[in-house]
A and B are shown apart, each in its own frame.
Chain A
């Protein structure tokens, strides 16, 4: 649906985006992830045709964004960073204007605007001035503007920035419901958001694509050790004996002693072995009470930090 081929963007001597290529398939939700200033917004601005790349081509649904811009732009709904809106218009007037700009035929316009207002849950404020809306509503109005005309691709630049937790969940579920009929590209520096929402993640750092993969695969790639976190009540220090006897334990260490007398250990086992059953059985035998036991998870956060670091070290 969206093809980005060898795209470079230079501002004078500064290269904001450096020879980036990726492809986004029909119906996918893809997250562009990267630290501030990595080139996420620049990339999105090029995909939407707001700025032109210095080099390379971008096609939307087979149409070149520069050469066939009318056809390509028709298939894009863009929600820019910082949700710019016309404050002196009402919600309905704004969405109507966007429909007009997006060449929605005038006989379908009323229906289409109503549909979008309902879908983004702003129908009940449709006659209010945008100026007087709360941040959460503004965000949804901006989303409505992007959705009108039913474009195939939705480009959302940091859609949840500046919202309170309740609004964030609302926007996320909205994005999730939209992904049924649209290809979605969203940018974010909130990793948990990306891992919750996206089918694939494109990590960008310093204008270069560092990794393209599913959130799960990225986590696996970075997960170096098979670790278990164990919290036990262990007054007589029996646990070290138990662990030493267990097969498959490579190492273990005390992480912290809690105020209630329990101790938390990190146990590193050999790869592809799940020791939790054995640990449970042994602890039961030795009368050790287990308060908590879980696989230590590598989050996308770790993956992200690591990938970015590796890249920086190489340079």
Chain B
């Protein structure tokens, strides 16, 4: 897993993708920081994350769309799948590389918290819980984005499928309670209030594990039908 993980993180920052992702996120969250926090004269760091979480819908696919689609298109998947690494190791390597980029981004967003420290007394625990929830949400998004990338060799399709799916999950709550439990954004909304909700954590983790597994199954299956 480490071999793939190291290489993927390197790739994110050798190509513009890593910088584009972090740059876009920071620009947009700066806007939300101003609109949601500063403009209200508040020191509640976490409130900006209600809006910031929607950005993930559009920028997580930037990280995930190339994961397997590009390897498949360029043929480098042959090098990967003929190496002694198992498909599980490869998938997890790629998954955690994308998670690492998110972690780096989150560390950078912590500067907003530091700014707030000069202006008042923001609540550290709530901020950390929010960032934790944000990480869980990102992981769920990444797992689906990765799955989308594994079913096609066209990066654009992988990206569009992911964005489409994420947008659909926004609207799930309007369809009644049974499906609304699958709304990722809704699951996240508990965290900025500073609560570590076990139910939400379980749902996020299950969602993530499910799509990581789906990715592994898709790639494993392609070996025998390809």
Contacts and interface: CB of A to CB of B under 8 A. Distances in A.
B76 A85 contact: yes
Nearest to A75: B84
A78 B84 contact: no
Interface in B1-49: 2-4, 6-7, 10-11, 14-15
A67 interface: no
B78 A69 contact: no
A73 B83 contact: yes
B224 A51 contact: yes
B7 A80 contact: no
Task: Choose among B11, B74, B78, B225 the residue with the greatest number of A CB atoms under 10 Å from its CB.
Answer: B78
A52 B223 CA distance: 6
B177 interface: no
B226 A101 contact: no
B76 A51 contact: no
A98 B84 contact: no
Interface in B66-89: 74-86
Interface residues of A, number: 32
Contact of B75 (A69, A76, A84): A84
Contacts of B4: 101
Contacts of B84: 69-71, 73-74, 101-103
B50 to A, nearest CB: 36
Given A50-B82, A78-B78, A84-B75, A100 B7 contact: yes
Contacts of A93: 10
B14 A100 contact: no
Task: Choose among B79, B223, B226 the residue with the greatest number of A CB atoms under 10 Å from its CB.
Answer: B79
B6 A100 contact: yes
A265 B15 CA distance: 66
B79 A98 contact: yes
Contacts of A85: 76
A73 B79 contact: no
Interface in B193-208: none
B82 A49 contact: yes
Interface in A39-64: 45, 48-52, 54
A86 B224 CA distance: 25
A80 B75 contact: yes
A207 interface: no
Nearest to B6: A100
B14 A101 contact: no
Given A78-B78, A78-B82, A84-B76, A101 B15 contact: no
Given A70-B86, A73-B83, A101-B85, A50 B3 contact: no
Given A89-B14, A97-B3, A97-B7, A51 B83 contact: no
B226 A51 contact: yes
A31 interface: no
B128 to A, nearest CB: 34
A145 interface: yes
A93 B13 CA distance: 14
Contacts of A69: 84, 86
A84 B15 contact: no
Task: Choose among B10, B81, B82, B83 the residue with the greatest number of A CB atoms under 10 Å from its CB.
Answer: B82
A193 to B, nearest CB: 22
Contacts of A23: none
A103 B6 CA distance: 14
Contacts of B74: 84, 87
B223 A101 contact: no
B196 to A, nearest CB: 37
B76 A101 contact: no
A82 interface: yes
Contacts of A50: 78, 81-82, 223
Given A52-B224, A73-B84, A101-B3, A80 B79 contact: yes
Task: Choose among A49, A86, A87, A145 the residue with the greatest number of B CB atoms under 10 Å from its CB.
Answer: A86
Contacts of B3: 97, 100-101
Nearest to B89: A101
A51 B4 CA distance: 20
Contact of A80 (B6, B78, B86, B225): B78
A86 B10 CA distance: 12
Contacts of A82: 75
Interface of A: 11, 45, 48-52, 54, 69-71, 73-74, 76, 78, 80-82, 84-89, 93, 97-98, 100-103, 145
Considering the complex of A and B, which 8 residue pairs feature the smallest CB-CB distances, nearest first?
A84-B75, A100-B3, A101-B83, A80-B78, A48-B82, A73-B84, A84-B76, A52-B224
19 contacts: A49-B82, A71-B84, A73-B82, A76-B82, A78-B79, A78-B82, A80-B75, A80-B79, A82-B75, A84-B76, A85-B76, A88-B11, A89-B14, A100-B2, A100-B7, A101-B3, A101-B79, A103-B84, A145-B79
